């Protein structure tokens, strides 16, 4: 059995083979921006578009991460780091499994986003800045979080009493004050085409 082990290890289904099968590169697309800037909305729009084009894609965001894998983490700086680390590691598994991961998270600190990029060694990580003025985000406020932050009920809320470091050189900027969802989605798909993620033929 031990000798066979070696043979079967050679038989592992590697990422490159999965990429060929799905006919697209796997990688991590981070959508970063303020709360209510439109990150998850855009991510799910792209998910649908790419799925309909037979790509294998999955969205990670607060909805499926904070209630599951990271439900035992607070919003302290230390726990935010662990939150980030786990999201990176889970994304690496998905990327290894041949998928395009759309990660929609605020990630307000530049150093956190740089950590992400480094862990992916550059070539299968794209940073998309979902840009929107804080005033517009506050007007949208779908979960009433901004209101609570202004009232001091929530402390350390990004954009209110906690900073958001704007990306200096993101791979793409989507201004959701001016761009509608369809255009936003097309911009991301264009980026994926430009970077030769889609269609390996």
Where along the sequence are the contacts to its own copies (CB under 8 A)?
1-2, 4-5, 8-9, 11-13, 17-18, 21, 38, 41, 44-45, 47-48, 51, 56-60, 64, 68-69, 72, 82, 85-86, 89-90, 92-94, 96-97, 99, 140, 142, 176, 181
Question: Shortest approach of its own copies to residue 201 CB, angstroms?
Answer: 18
CB of 93 to its own copies, least distance (A): 6
Instruction: State the SS3 of 105-160.
Output: CCCCCHHHHHHHHHHCCCCCEEEEEEECCHHHHHHHCCCCHHHHHHCCCCCCCECC
For residue 32, what is the DSSP state?
A: E
Our CB check for its own copies shows the closer of 155 and 183 to be 183
CB of 150 to its own copies, least distance (A): 19
Of 63 and 194, which has the nearer Cβ to its own copies? 63
Q: In the complex, what is the shortest distance from the CB of residue 28 to its own copies, in angstroms, rounded to a whole number?
A: 14
- Residue 88: CB atoms within 10 A of its CB come to 20
- Residue closer to its own copies by CB (options 17, 194) is 17
Query: What share of residues in the chain are helix, strand, coil (percent, to 5)?
Result: 50, 15, 35
Kindly tell me which of 32 and 176 has the beta carbon lying closer to its own copies. Answer: 176
Closer of 50 and 172 to its own copies (Cβ): 50
Closest CB to its own copies among 126 and 184? Answer: 184
- Which of 46, 15, 49 is CA-nearest to residue 31? 46
The CA-to-CA distance between both ends of the chain, in Å, stands at 39
Distances in Å between the Cα of 158 and the Cα atoms of 36, 85, 96, 147, 161 are 11, 19, 32, 13, 6
Residues 6+ apart with CB under 8 A from 103: 28, 29, 30, 31, 43, 59, 60, 61, 87, 91
Min. distance of Cβ 13 from its own copies in angstroms?
Answer: 5
Instruction: Tell me how far, at minimum, the Cβ of 170 lies from its own copies, in Å.
Output: 21
């Amino acid at each position: 059995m031990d000798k066979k082990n070696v043979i079967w290890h050679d038989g592992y289904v590697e990422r490159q083979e999965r990429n060929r099968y799905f006919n697209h590169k796997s990688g991590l697309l981070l959508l970063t921006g303020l709360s209510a800037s439109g990150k998850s909305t855009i991510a799910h729009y792209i998910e649908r578009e790419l799925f309909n084009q037979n790509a294998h894609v999955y969205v990670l965001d607060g909805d499926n991460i904070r209630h599951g894998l990271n439900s035992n983490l607070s919003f302290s700086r230390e726990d935010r780091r662990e939150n980030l680390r786990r999201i990176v590691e889970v994304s690496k598994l998905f990327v290894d499994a041949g998928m395009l991961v759309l990660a929609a998270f605020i990630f307000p600190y530049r150093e956190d986003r740089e950590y992400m990029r480094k862990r992916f060694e550059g070539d299968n990580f794209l940073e998309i800045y979902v840009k929107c003025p804080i005033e517009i985000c506050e007007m949208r406020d779908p979960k009433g979080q901004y209101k609570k932050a202004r009232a001091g009920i929530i402390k350390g809320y990004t954009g209110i009493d906690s900073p958001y470091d704007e990306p200096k050189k993101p791979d793409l900027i989507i201004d959701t004050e001016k761009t509608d969802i369809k255009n936003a989605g097309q911009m991301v798909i264009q980026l994926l085409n430009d970077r030769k993620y889609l269609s390996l033929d």
